[in-house]
Structure 1
Amino acid sequence: MQMIHFLRPIVFLSVLLLAAPGVQAETADERAVARELAKALTRATGELGNVTLASAVPALAGPKAELAVSEVDFDPRSRRFTAMVASGGEKMQVAGRFVVVQRVPVLRQRVASGDEIRAADVQWIEMETARMSGDIIDSAGDVVGMAAKRDLMAGQPIRGRDLTRPVMVAKGAMVTMVFRSQFMSLTATGRAIEGGGRGDVIQVMNLQSKKTVYATVTGPNQAIVGAGGAPVASN
């Protein structure tokens, strides 16, 4: 079995290879040990990851700030490791798993169907990379400004199929249209023949001329005619 050794190698105990899934760090000392192990393995492998301990860790003999990790033996295939952790002049052997994680945006609170997601609605969590599907969003830029297709719960990974562009102009709504050319800018009121989100090109009927034009949606019930080469069409 190919191993990656750091400092002096330690032989894996066979029981570790057959061990049940690890336990989450619960005490302050366990969390401190898990953090230091994760830092050491992240530095060595270049992978952002979290540590799950194979068993509970006894109380530390010294201050958490003086923790030192050494003699790490890591198997990249099983993701299992053993290491020595020094605290207050005493050493203990610790075993567990190191899994690669990725930061993904989630919602701070529930967002109802149709509501637009704002930057303040988003926070970040770390998720095991192996458990991520291709549809889970890992960029806040793909979330902020979008609308929920269904009610979305707080703290859950967001999938691309959960989002849509928010409707800025509803079908039949009154729309403020701005006509722009090289020489002038005019404003008129129209009625939306179809709905659309920001950037969509929709048909709007000019209430004064009764002509239908193509307009680019720029905001709530607002659109520009002639921008971006949007053609003007007659009824």
Structure 2
Amino acid sequence: MRCFKLLIMSSVSLFILIQTALGCDIVLKEKATVNSNNITIKEIASRYPANLKDIVIAPAPFANNSITLTKAFISFTLKQKGIKATVCGSKTVKISAETITLKASDIQRIIGKNLTIVSHLPILLPAGSYKFKVVSVSHSTKFTFYTIQAIKNGKFQRTINITALREQTTRLIPVAKRDIEVGQIITASDITFAKLSGIAPNTFTNKSYIVNRIATNFIPKGSTFSTANTRRFKPVKMGDLVSVEVVAGRIRITTVAKALKGGYKGDIIPIMYLSSKKIMPAVITGKKQVIVQ
């Protein structure tokens, strides 16, 4: 008799559950995964009216994260949207974001180079079909920095920053042929070339830029030349007595004048003749030498 009563009670409970489920518009799952930017009814419910399948309930969690929505929250959200629907099923729904994983091989394929990547990998993105675009590349002495845009369904999703070891390529660079003392004017005979890689940004790579510069530090044999260890040679300083070559047709006259301004080779400066005090423009041609044409 007791077993018969239990059987009747179980049957009644099952009947009530079935009737409740049949009377529900939306039956919630316990767990769900999403692969878009939003959580919709079709992803969190096992049964729902067709016209409600794309109703957005909340933003999707970030890649490799999850959120939990309660039945009360879902019911309230639908009510706020003016939707009359009964909700049953699980009291809570745990929603995880589907992801895709970008490994080193994927980054190399996107950039188009076989790189030694130092950025933390893998990178997780919400699942979907992406296009990737390298939008900028910059360098330091040791590293190369890539900025990549992830585009999904034609819309920008996020920026991915990648740091990789800089590719070391060798090139012929001017170096000191011998030890050069501080204050020495560097000549062409002081310079030779060597194959180097990973040179500093302020290093001179053209021999013509180095000739006639002055060493501001001791430069050992084999060292590169840069703005850090050399400065421009100033052949004429303000107040110098300069040798003036005056050219008038085929006539050339040499005299002496006072420089009223300093400058570098090729600069035009004012000079004053000592005898007449007349001021004229002159072009610097060498150490304390100018020409007037």
Q: Structure 2 length normalisation: TM-score?
A: 0.39
Whichever of the two has the greater Rg, that structure is 2
For CA contacts below 8 A with separation 6 or more, give which structure has more relative contact order: 1
